[in-house]
Amino acid sequence: MCGIAGYTGPKQAIDIVFDQLKRLEYRGYDSAGIAYLDKGAITVLKRAGKLKELGKLMEDGVPAAHLAIAHSRWATHGGPTDENAHPHYDQFEQISIIHNGIIENYLDLREELIAKGHTFRSETDTEIAAHVIGDEYTKTGVLEDAVRNAVKKLRGAFALVVISKAEPEKIVAARNASPIVLGFGDGENMLASDIPALLPYTRQVAILEDECIAVVTPSQIRILDFDGKEQRVEAMNVDWDIQAAEKGGYEHFMLKEIHEQPNVIRQCLAGRIDEKNKVRLENVFSEHVWNEVDRINIIACGTAYNAGLMGKHLFEKLLRLPTDVFYSSEFRYGDPVLSPKSLAVFISQSGETADSLAALRLCKQRRIRTLGIVNVMGSSIARECDRTLFTQAGPEISVASTKAYTAQVLVLSMLALYIAQLQETPGVRVSECAQMLKQLPQLAEEVLKLEDQVIDIAGKIKDTNLIFFLGRGADAYLSLEAALKMKEIAYIPTQESPAGEMKHGPLALVEKGVVAVFGATDEALREKTVSSIKEVDARGGTIVAITTDNDSTIEKSAEHVIKIPDTKFDFLNSLLSIIPLQLLAYHVARMRGCEIDQPRNLAKSVTVE
């Protein structure tokens, strides 16, 4: 998500890392910075905004530096400001660091450091990590030892890159889940968060393994594990063309983003569920506000609206809290009836959608409390809502939203559990569900392994003229999102509704050649779903059904069955089932030769009415 670059060797390091950052621009970012070594001190240049803003700081020239690191940041902890941009110093400006990922226990560490007299210049978790490493460096005087000691105190997913003014040729990098790629040169070495940044300089690369530290100098790259044990390092030759490499080897950003979902789930959950399976949400309203709220109105567009429907399902089912979901465009012109005790929840990936922003301003005029669920930090909706929860899905480049939806539903799930926890809502198994949420990244990885089966099904249905997306309960809401993906990128007309509605009209459209995709992941509703499947089957429709791996009923009536792991929670089963359905839309679109990342007539951020 954020970009990392680093170089040590005889050439002008500043130019090289700046160029490497440019090659990572496709990942999206909202601030950037460089740290380099000059005359025994570390200089940091950083700016909010695009790389050209950072470039302006170097317009009057920079010294010849032979060691530099650079970072492009996608804001998560702290908005996209100059102060929050990386690199960060430690307390004594002896080291400087850049970081991708999230330090989950940064608040606890911050308190410990403040008690020791540390002061901070930013709101970031990264600066906390810098101070922890700086403290260790004061004790050891050897950068890799300091990093090794410090990482034992850090919890979360991270890639850290550190330099010291006292070790002028050395870059130390540590990896725990977030990627780091090492590049081997001739008398020079480098690193980056992704292969494309290295390709103009070297094609000899190695991926740093998890829980390992790289010590990079111009003459060698050493790898140690977190216990200090030396590891073998072997470079591989990469012959990718640069454009393909930007998509991490995937043919399209959409496919890359679908595959990122296990990590997105990890990032979204990070720091929000503790060891005791308690939900910890920062920056939401206090308990008395939740006790006062008598109704929730969720307001959003497109995919975010569909995520909102899952929110309605959760708030009503778990909390018995009346919830309505509005299209932003309807809400703003619809003269809505709003209870003064209601809460308006705005869901938006971009945080800039014009209709949602206008609806938000309407709520503010009417003095209604507002909560944002937003991906882009510093965006208008994030800034203008009373409170905002960030989805932390990283930049989404494909116009068709995939990972943002998953993260939005996850945040809504955590919010519902959080309220249930505060209010001790009877019958809600908060801790059991929170525990299952923690397993979701692995389960999403399992689901991604179904891709070959999905490709096979895509090949069989790709020429159809109409696809129904049907389900009951949470699966009914999910089917709206699955249908939206199919029409957006494969341009196949779809008909989506609760399965029980079929016989009230849409069934008239079923004939041979029509495809119906059923969500049947809720055991309690499965028998009823079988009846709906039979209705379509009897009229010659082709059935694709998604069910759980412990079910053997659906396969008796459906031609193609996709089985996902059973989480025992209806909304989590539904959420997992979006992954094969995103893949289905993607592969059907690919087989039909459609323009996937930029479908016709659509834009990523709809900032006009």
Which listed range, 8-16, 165-173, 278-286, 299-307, lies at the site for ligand F6R (CB under 6 A)? Answer: 299-307
CA 388 to chain centre: 16
Binding flags for ligand F6R, 456-495, as an x/- string (CB under 6 A) = ----------------------------x---x-------
Q: Which of residues 122 and 356 has its CB atom nearest to ligand F6R in the complex?
A: 356
- The reply to whether 359 sits near ligand F6R by the rule CB under 6 A is no
Residue-wise DSSP of 181-239: EEEE-SS-EEEESSGGGTTTT-SEEEEPPTTEEEEE-SS-EEEEETT--EE----EE--
We find the least distance from the C-beta atom of residue 454 to ligand F6R, in angstroms, to be 18
Element (H, E) at 362: helix 354-365
- The reply to whether 394 sits near ligand F6R by the rule CB under 6 A is no
We find the least distance from the C-beta atom of residue 464 to ligand F6R, in angstroms, to be 21
DSSP 147: H
**Tally of CB atoms within 10 A around 236:** 10
β-strand pairing of 236-237 with 204-207? antiparallel
Q: Site residues for ligand F6R, window 566-605 (CB under 6 A)?
A: 605
Q: Which of residues 129 and 300 has its CB atom nearest to ligand F6R in the complex?
A: 300
- The reply to whether 178 sits near ligand F6R by the rule CB under 6 A is no
Tell the residue number behind the tokens 């226990």, with chain if given.
105
In the chain, the amino acid numbered 421 is Q
Contacts 24+ apart (CB under 8 A), 451-454: 451/583, 453/562, 454/562, 454/580, 454/583, 454/584, 454/587
> Which residue is nearest to ligand F6R, using beta carbons?
302
- The reply to whether 400 sits near ligand F6R by the rule CB under 6 A is yes
CA distances from 410 to 89, 373, 390 (A): 34, 11, 11
- Please identify which residue in 401, 406, 494, 547 interacts with ligand F6R, judged by CB under 6 A: 401
Binding flags for ligand F6R, 3-42, as an x/- string (CB under 6 A) = ----------------------------------------
- The reply to whether 301 sits near ligand F6R by the rule CB under 6 A is yes
Which listed range, 21-29, 58-66, 246-254, 344-352, lies at the site for ligand F6R (CB under 6 A)? Answer: 344-352
Cα end-to-end span (Å), the chain: 30
Residue among 2, 268, 301, 385 flagged as catalytic: 2
Burial class (CB in 10 A: 0-12, 13-18, 19+), 6: buried
- The reply to whether 356 sits near ligand F6R by the rule CB under 6 A is yes
- Please identify which residue in 37, 304, 461, 478 interacts with ligand F6R, judged by CB under 6 A: 304
Binding flags for ligand F6R, 179-208, as an x/- string (CB under 6 A) = ------------------------------
* 96 vs 130: CA distance, rounded Å: 7
- The reply to whether 303 sits near ligand F6R by the rule CB under 6 A is yes
Residues 6+ apart with CB under 8 A from 110: 120, 128
- The reply to whether 329 sits near ligand F6R by the rule CB under 6 A is no
- The reply to whether 349 sits near ligand F6R by the rule CB under 6 A is yes
Q: Torsion over CA of 570, 439, 271 and 228, rounded to 10 degrees?
A: -170
Q: Torsion over CA of 518, 522, 523 and 529, rounded to 10 degrees?
A: -30
- Please identify which residue in 6, 33, 183, 302 interacts with ligand F6R, judged by CB under 6 A: 302
Q: Which of residues 91 and 297 has its CB atom nearest to ligand F6R in the complex?
A: 297
* 235 vs 218: CA distance, rounded Å: 16
We find the least distance from the C-beta atom of residue 307 to ligand F6R, in angstroms, to be 8
We find the least distance from the C-beta atom of residue 384 to ligand F6R, in angstroms, to be 13
Tokens of 472: 């009951």
Residues 6+ apart with CB under 8 A from 456: none
Q: Which of residues 24 and 300 has its CB atom nearest to ligand F6R in the complex?
A: 300
Give how many residues touch ligand F6R by CB under 6 A.
15
Q: Which of residues 182 and 490 has its CB atom nearest to ligand F6R in the complex?
A: 490
Q: Which of residues 293 and 299 has its CB atom nearest to ligand F6R in the complex?
A: 299
Active site residue 363: no
We find the least distance from the C-beta atom of residue 305 to ligand F6R, in angstroms, to be 7
Residue-wise DSSP of 375-442: SSTT-HHHHHSSEEEE-------SSS-SHHHHHHHHHHHHHHHHHHHHHT-TT--HHHHHHHHHHHHH
β-strand pairing of 542-548 with 41-48? unpaired
Binding flags for ligand F6R, 139-158, as an x/- string (CB under 6 A) = --------------------
- The reply to whether 454 sits near ligand F6R by the rule CB under 6 A is no
Side-chain-side CA neighbours of residue 80 (13 Å): 21
Which listed range, 20-28, 62-70, 71-79, 342-350, lies at the site for ligand F6R (CB under 6 A)? Answer: 342-350
Which listed range, 58-66, 238-246, 348-356, 530-538, lies at the site for ligand F6R (CB under 6 A)? Answer: 348-356
- The reply to whether 380 sits near ligand F6R by the rule CB under 6 A is no
**Tally of CB atoms within 10 A around 74:** 21
* 277 vs 281: CA distance, rounded Å: 12
- The reply to whether 353 sits near ligand F6R by the rule CB under 6 A is yes
Which listed range, 16-24, 217-225, 350-358, 528-536, lies at the site for ligand F6R (CB under 6 A)? Answer: 350-358
Quick one: residue 470, left, alpha or beta (phi over 0 = left, psi -120 to 50 = alpha)?
beta
**Tally of CB atoms within 10 A around 431:** 15
Active site residue 604: yes
Q: Which residues bind ligand F6R (CB under 6 A)?
A: 301-304, 348-350, 353, 356, 400-401, 484, 488, 605-606
Residues serving a catalytic function are: 2, 604
